[in-house]
């Protein structure tokens, strides 16, 4: 049995950076909390907790100390509240997310009606809505784009982890909604690279293992794409592997979401290799 890793997988630049910032910030005096899980990976969140990096879900849980903003970013009200409460804010927002937030903010300031192509419930998308002054509309599907009426000045940004193909297809519909359209394709390369590599590998193997948090949108998307090509399992750790998956399998492909730590990928790889 052959085990092949996707050419591009695992931690992206923004996640590596956020974890480094969190660790540096905690090592300054041993105390720091992230606002929400720093990334959508329970194993990494648990490891950071062991290193003294805690988590709060709301600023009301903190009266003093240091709060770390995760790579998904937050809306302007969090910066204001942290300042009012006298908290020290450490900003680990991924620069690509920051770019999408600022694009929405500037488009709104310039009088554009902002449409965000992305998943309504994703924290990053919620933060972009807030940076638009809460005026942006979120469109997730072609049907939702069709349902929009005509718009005077239309400004479009994307969730950084949105599918490039789906973005294109929704844009084709939005172009008919306005004669004054500005499009900022704020999808980050990490997502495109992981999706392209995963799809290509899934076309070559009998079975794909997609590793990452079950709460990670980009990992779930990788699993959906791979499932279009071959039998696919979305797992968080090597402990979930089941012997019967490997019956009559010659080639296994492995990929992992942008928030999956290297050590989790290595464990899965090693366990698969041991079966060969
Ligand atoms: S996937 Fe892209 S936008 Fe999201 S954290 Fe990683 S580098 Fe940043």
Range of the domain at 175: 96-187
Closest CA to 229 of 213, 216, 210: 210
pLDDT, one tens digit per residue, over 160-172 is 988 888 999 999 9
Least confident of 42-46, 102-106, 108-112, 249-253: 42-46
Q: Are residues 182 and 201 in the same domain?
A: no
Centre of ligand 1 to C-alpha 129, Å, is 18
Q: Are residues 201 and 180 in the same domain?
A: no
Highest mean pLDDT among 19-33, 169-183, 215-229: 169-183
Q: Please report, for the domain that includes residue 256, its CATH number.
A: 3.40.1010.20
The answer to whether residue 140 is catalytic is no
Cα(15)–Cα(186) distance, rounded to whole angstroms? 17
Cα(254)–Cα(271) distance, rounded to whole angstroms? 12
Q: Please report, for the domain that includes residue 28, its CATH number.
A: 3.40.50.11270
Q: Of the candidates 149, 172, 187, which is a domain's last residue?
A: 187
Q: Are residues 51 and 133 in the same domain?
A: no
Q: Is ligand 1 within 6 A of the CB of residue 170?
A: no
Residue nearest to atom 8 of ligand 1 (CA): 14
For the chain, the domain total comes to: 3
Which phi and psi angles does 228 have, rounded to 5°? -75, -20
The Cβ-side half-sphere exposure at 248, using a 13 Å CA radius, reads 1
Which pLDDT score, from 0 to 100, does residue 30 have? 64
Q: Of the candidates 47, 64, 94, which is a domain's last residue?
A: 94
Residue nearest to atom 2 of ligand 1 (CA): 188
pLDDT, one tens digit per residue, over 228-244 is 999 999 999 999 999 99
Q: Are residues 102 and 178 in the same domain?
A: yes
pLDDT, one tens digit per residue, over 197-227 is 999 999 999 999 999 999 888 899 899 999 9
Q: Are residues 6 and 25 in the same domain?
A: no
């Amino acid at each position: 049995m052959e085990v092949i890793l996707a050419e591009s997988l695992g931690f992206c630049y923004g996640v590596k950076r956020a974890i480094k910032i969190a660790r540096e910030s905690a090592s300054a005096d041993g105390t720091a909390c992230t606002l929400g899980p720093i990334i959508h990976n329970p194993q990494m969140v648990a490891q950071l907790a062991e290193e003294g990096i805690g988590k709060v879900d709301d600023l009301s849980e903190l009266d003093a100390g240091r709060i770390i903003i995760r790579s998904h970013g937050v809306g302007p009200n969090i910066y204001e509240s942290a300042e009012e409460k006298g908290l020290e804010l450490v900003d680990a927002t991924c620069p690509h997310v920051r770019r999408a937030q600022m694009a929405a903010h500037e488009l709104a300031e310039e009088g554009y009606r902002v449409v965000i192509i992305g998943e309504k419930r994703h924290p990053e998308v919620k933060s972009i809505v807030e940076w638009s002054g809460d005026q942006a509309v979120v469109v997730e599907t072609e049907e939702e784009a069709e349902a929009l009426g005509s718009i005077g000045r239309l400004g479009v940004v994307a969730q950084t982890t949105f599918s490039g193909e789906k973005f294109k297809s929704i844009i084709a519909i939005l172009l008919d909604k306005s004669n004054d359209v500005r499009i900022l394709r704020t999808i980050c390369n990490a997502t495109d690279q992981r999706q392209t590599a995963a799809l290509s590998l899934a076309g070559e193997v009998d079975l794909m293992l997609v590793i990452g948090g079950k709460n990670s949108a980009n990992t779930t998307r990788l699993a959906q794409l791979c499932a279009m090509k071959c039998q696919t399992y979305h797992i968080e750790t090597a402990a979930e592997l089941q012997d019967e998956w490997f019956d009559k399998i010659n080639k296994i492909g492995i990929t992992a979401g942008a928030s999956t730590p290297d050590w989790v990928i290595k464990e899965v790889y090693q366990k698969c290799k041991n079966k060969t």
